[in-house]
Structure 1
């Protein structure tokens, strides 16, 4: 950065750094926020780099232990562990707690990616590896970078946010090999009907986009759909790689 004439500061950067008495407003300014954001990415990448195959389970924090969805989330997590996956949630209560609990009871890896909120939530007791984030976008990156698919149980705005962010990234091919499964046709059926009857009808999405959202009703179906989706995407990637090799090796 070049400074001349009236842009030259009256004191040097070193002098400002070493000044004994300063206010703390700088802690809340954008340059310092950049460092905090960077630190969250570094911490997340370091903690999750050796996680191995993992699936995220999303659902409402408001689900009680006696709700059917709580038992469903536990069952999903157990089956995911049996299929060789770690289980990653938002680390909170409700369906997230149930999924973490199911993973622990199945002797699997239970991960929680928490978020700072204006009300107390905290990390549930079934999380064995937990990271708390200040910034939603840093947390979302970890869900998408270190898991290979989403199982989405009934949930609220936070669940919808994660769901449609993932759908957008898959649709625009920013991520690949990423199956997404909705669990609960009575809960999600109306949404899928609206997508088909309104968005598809108006031409704002295409028919293949709806294929990104299979809806199932049982934990077994959910895990089978994730595994099948990953296998299909893997076969497609292998076929594309083989086609690219053939094209590269073809005679001129």
Structure 2
């Protein structure tokens, strides 16, 4: 067994010594007057002590930690951006899929159709891959686009703080993931029943899963800060998320989540048409309303040509 000698300092340092011999409790205390240290010896052997010095001044310096204030400032910047552009659809997804990937094409079409259907702002990570796809799609629909970028992205825009074509006032490059997540969550809050927002999770990797499950947990625990329900769509293109869904079924079998709990929190969609139909039903948008919008767009286009 190990033997320990504990030294309690009355000065500016804490001295902790460790021994390696078998110990036996001895009711003896030794006062070392030279270094103002009170030592409790629990070993009856001659021990070899290895002192470990921890300076109190160096161990706790909370005043030197500036990041909390910086995170708070960045969160406020996210909120200001949302207030200017409006809440709407938040897309989560891979930054690695280029424009030749079938999921890129599908995501672009989806973002264009949802922006037209709900007439709201599109929010994304303002990066490459599927984030670029939804940005392009919303711009094609003529609707506002905002983004919360991070300084380092996987893919072609690595370590870039700038977006190649979005106006600088439409996105924010975040230093802190926590601030960025606050922005993504706040962008889908519905405090008015007329607000139309949603979370759309496209195929993605670790970052996408992190954001997806954090937002799902906030919805599950009713901590997302929204007075009204926020629809959450999981886009299962080409069965991308099928094995994840199987795993969640296993979680139900083990009892780590309740039966039907996860299914009640989101809508799994295998196609864009299924997603659009779900959102139209959720927000009670009839096909007649959609036709009216398309007809108005045609008239507007005709007037411009004339």
Normalising to structure 1: TM-score of the pair?
A: 0.74
| SS of aligned partner of 1:182 | strand
Correspondence for 2:219: 170
Residue 193 (1) aligns with residue 250 (2): no
- Map of 2:273 onto structure 1: 220
Question: Which residue of the partner structure matches residue 144 of structure 1?
Answer: 185
Which position in structure 2 is the counterpart of 1:22?
none
- In 2, the alpha carbon distance for the partners of 1:113 and 1:42 equals 13
Tell me the equivalent position of 2:208.
Answer: 159
1:243 alignment partner in structure 2: none
What is the total number of aligned residue pairs between the two structures? 205
C-alpha distance in 2 between matches for 1:71 and 1:99: 9
TM-score in terms of structure 2 length: 0.62
Please, which moves more after superposition, 83-92 or 175-184? 175-184
Q: Indicate if the aligned counterparts of 2:91 and 2:124 stay in contact, CA closer than 8 A.
A: yes
Pick the structure with more strand per residue: 2
Q: Aligned in 2, Cα 1:71/1:116: closer, same or farther, shift over 3 Å?
A: same
Alignment equivalent of 1:40, drawn from 46, 51, 74: 74
1:126/1:220 CA distance change after superposition, 3 Å: farther
1:211 aligns with 2:264: yes
**5+ residue gaps in structure 1?**
1-5, 8-25, 232-252
> 2 CA distance for matches of 1:45 and 1:134?
15
Contact 1:54 1:85 in 2 (8 A): yes
- Taking the TM superposition and a 5 Å limit, the aligned residue runs for 1:1-252 are 29-30=64-65, 32-83=66-117, 84-117=119-152, 119-128=158-167, 129-147=170-188, 148-175=197-224, 176=226, 177-184=229-236, 186-196=239-249, 198-206=250-258, 207-229=260-282
Higher relative contact order (CA 8 A, sep 6+): 1
Distance 1:126 1:78, change over 3 A: farther
Q: Which SS does the other structure have where 1:166 is aligned?
A: helix
- Secondary structure at the aligned position of 1:55 is classed as strand
RMSD: 2.4
Instruction: Assess if the C-alpha contact under 8 Å between 1:92 and 1:123 holds in 2.
Output: no
Write the distance in 2 (CA, Å) between the matches of 1:222 and 1:113: 24
Whether the 8 Å contact between 1:49 and 1:146 is mirrored in structure 2 is no
Partner residue of 1:236?
none
**Which consecutive aligned stretches of 4+ in structure 1 deviate over 6 angstroms post-superposition?**
none
Change (3 A) 1:227 1:50: farther
Q: Note closer, same or farther for the CA distance 1:227–1:132 as it changes in structure 2 (3 Å cut).
A: farther
1:81–1:106 Cα contact (<8 Å) kept = yes
> Are the aligned partners of 1:92 and 1:121 in contact in 2 as well (CA < 8 Å)?
no
What are structure 2's unaligned runs of at least 5 residues? 1-10, 13-60, 189-196, 285-306
Shift of 1:200: 0.5
Larger Rg: 2
Instruction: Indicate the SS of the match to 2:128.
Output: coil
User: 2-side partners of 1:54 and 1:149: how far apart?
Assistant: 7
